[in-house]
């Protein structure tokens, strides 16, 4: 633990711990002064680490890479101590920025920035990110990690960066990213690319231009990054032209492939926006503004479809879990227990075959067979009925299967070698995500008018899938 006014030695020079600057996700940040030439630098410690932890080695590797970056819009890394010798805490020595962070700058603004001021900041950040991404992927871009020194904006904090093209580290490592700025693909632990940083920078640009986050303040940031659609930033800052709006929204596209290939392309598109002048400017802005509005509406529709698809897949997974855990698992345990104690030379066996939303199982023993089928309700189970109303107009209506006033989620049947059996039906519950099971022990068909059609069936029997949908 470092203390104010104590002296540390680094690369042959002595430095005095001058001022505590803040507590970060990894450790503490101090300003330090060189005793010899009175120059001021910054020291960032890695307060929480295990010396033999692979993450520690990964961090040191990143710091070695970060030291090679030299650009006027990037905080320069002077050197680092790995913590394997005294003092037993890794730390990084870097250039000191005297103007605070971009976050501080935005918080101090009382009015919206002009497009000209926004573009000046954008281009500085782009230049810095181009230098950083030539070596590594930052992975923790946010306004707090962009510093200002004598009016120049500088990218900072590569301590949590990951070398380009390597696999993402786990979320458990402190500083994995900051939720409002994490790219959607990072939640799936995909390979690092500069498009991840572009997504984060897109949200930073949006915040600079609109003085607000693109998604507001959602309770679930992961869901927001995966499905939310940002309104054009010009809704909040009318001074931002449609061309600049289009650049920002392309940076925060959900799909990495829809973002830019390089920072040079981002720079060129922003430079092109400045050429939108002359007598046709208002017409061009209106056309581009209408296109941005159409693109936003299209994104909202795609997002709504994704939400619906994700919810459908989630519910399907819960149904499959209930069948596996509450039907198949007990039967499998019974088969295992039977084979343990039966003393028979012939074993009982259970086999299962799945395809789509259907599952077929077979339990066999001593030439006897029980077949079990299970089916998740889908569009093929919704009946379409035709009719004519009192005015002679034809109409059709859809009928979804229900049992006891509850929606049927799935159904199935169990049939023995002698054709006796029963049906199982899973319906929605009064509350919660999991459904309720019902067992149908059928003795008659509700659709048969002739008694003899029921007489040949054993008691009880199971309806087939094609029969069950009509009986229900």
What domains are defined for the chain?
Answer: 7-210+229-276 (1.10.510.10), 349-471 (no CATH)
Q: Give the tens place of pLDDT for each residue, 426-445.
A: 999 887 778 899 999 998 88
Q: Give the tens place of pLDDT for each residue, 316-341.
A: 888 888 888 888 888 998 998 888 88
| Cα–Cα dist 331/336, whole Å | 9
Percentage of the chain modeled with pLDDT above 90:
42
Q: Which residues have C-beta within 8 Å of that of residue 146, sequence separation ≥ 6?
A: 101, 102, 125, 128, 153, 154, 155, 156, 204
Question: For the whole model, what pTM was predicted?
Answer: 0.64
Q: Which residue has the higher pLDDT, 272 or 286?
A: 272
Contact (CB, 8 A) for 132 and 32: no
Residue 160: pLDDT band with limits 50, 70, 90: low
Dihedrals phi, psi of 413, to nearest 5 degrees? -150, 155
- The answer, yes or no, to whether residue 171 has pLDDT greater than 80, is no
Q: What is the pLDDT of residue 142?
A: 93
Q: What is the pLDDT of residue 437?
A: 93
| Cα–Cα dist 380/107, whole Å | 56
Residue 21: pLDDT band with limits 50, 70, 90: confident
Quick one: which of 139, 259, 153 has its CA closest to 189? 139
Q: What is the pLDDT of residue 366?
A: 87
- The answer, yes or no, to whether residue 315 has pLDDT greater than 50, is yes
Residue 454: pLDDT band with limits 50, 70, 90: low
| Cα–Cα dist 249/209, whole Å | 12
Quick one: which of 62, 87, 92, 59 has its CA closest to 77? 92
| Cα–Cα dist 120/126, whole Å | 10
Residue 350: pLDDT band with limits 50, 70, 90: very high
Quick one: which of 96, 97, 84 has its CA closest to 34? 96
| Cα–Cα dist 405/385, whole Å | 19
Mean pLDDT of 260-280: 79
Q: What is the pLDDT of residue 129?
A: 96
**Mean pLDDT, all residues of the chain:** 84
Instruction: Count other Cβ atoms within 10 Å, centred on residue 14.
Output: 13
Q: What is the pLDDT of residue 173?
A: 33
Dmax of the chain from CA atoms? 108
Mean pLDDT of 283-299: 67
Quick one: which of 61, 78, 241, 67 has its CA closest to 162? 61
Q: What is the pLDDT of residue 158?
A: 65
Torsion of CA 302, 308, 314, 315, to 10 degrees: -160
Q: What is the pLDDT of residue 143?
A: 95
Cis (ω within 30 of 0) for the bond into 87? yes
- The answer, yes or no, to whether residue 169 has pLDDT greater than 80, is no
Question: CA angle, corner 246, sides to 161 and 251, nearest 5?
Answer: 15
């Amino acid at each position: 633990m470092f203390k104010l006014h104590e002296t540390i030695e680094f690369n042959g020079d002595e430095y005095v711990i001058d001022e505590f600057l803040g507590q970060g996700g990894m450790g503490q940040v101090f300003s330090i002064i060189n005793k010899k030439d009175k120059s001021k630098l910054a020291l960032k410690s890695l307060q929480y680490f295990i010396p033999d932890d692979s993450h520690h080695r990964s961090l040191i590797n990143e710091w070695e890479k970060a030291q090679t970056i030299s650009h006027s819009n990037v905080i320069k890394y002077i050197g680092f101590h790995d913590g394997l010798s005294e003092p037993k805490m890794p730390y990084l020595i870097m250039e000191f920025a005297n103007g605070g962070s971009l976050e501080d700058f935005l918080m101090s603004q009382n009015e919206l920035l002009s497009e000209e001021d926004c573009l000046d900041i954008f281009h500085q950040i782009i230049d810095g990110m181009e230098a950083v991404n030539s070596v590594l992927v930052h992975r923790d871009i946010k306004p707090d990690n962009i510093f200002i020194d004598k009016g120049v904006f500088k990218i900072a904090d590569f301590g949590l960066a990951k070398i380009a093209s390597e696999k993402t580290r786990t979320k458990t490592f402190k500083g994995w990213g900051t939720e409002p700025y994490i790219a959607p693909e990072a939640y799936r632990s995909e390979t690092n690319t500069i498009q991840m940083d572009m997504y984060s920078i897109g949200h930073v640009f949006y915040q600079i231009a609109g003085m607000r986050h693109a998604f507001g303040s959602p309770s679930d940031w992961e869901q927001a990054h995966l499905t939310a659609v940002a309104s054009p930033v010009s809704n909040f800052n009318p001074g931002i032209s449609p061309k600049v709006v289009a650049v920002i929204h392309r940076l925060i596209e959900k799909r990495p492939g829809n973002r830019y290939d390089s920072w040079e392309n981002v720079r060129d598109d922003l430079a092109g926006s400045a050429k939108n002048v002359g007598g046709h400017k208002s017409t061009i802005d209106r056309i581009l503004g209408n296109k941005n509005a159409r693109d936003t509406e299209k994104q909202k529709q795609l997002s709504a479809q994704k939400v619906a698809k994700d919810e459908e897949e989630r519910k399907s997974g819960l149904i499959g879990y209930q069948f596996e855990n509450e039907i198949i698992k007990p039967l499998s345990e019974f088969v295992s227990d039977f084979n343990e104690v039966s003393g028979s030379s012939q074993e009982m066996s259970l086999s299962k075959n799945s395809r789509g939303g259907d599952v077929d199982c077979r339990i066999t023993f001593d030439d006897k067979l029980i077949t079990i089928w299970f089916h998740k309700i889908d569009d093929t189970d919704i009946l379409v009925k035709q009719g004519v109303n009192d005015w002679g107009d034809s109409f059709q209506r859809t009928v979804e299967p229900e049992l006891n006033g509850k929606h049927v989620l799935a159904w199935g049947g169990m049939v023995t070698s002698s054709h006796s059996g029963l049906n199982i039906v899973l319906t929605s519950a009064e509350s919660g995500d999991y459904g309720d099971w019902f067992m149908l022990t059928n003795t008659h068909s509700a659709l048969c008018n002739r008694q003899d059609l029921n007489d040949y069936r054993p008691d009880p029997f199971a309806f087939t899938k094609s029969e069950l949908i009509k009986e229900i």
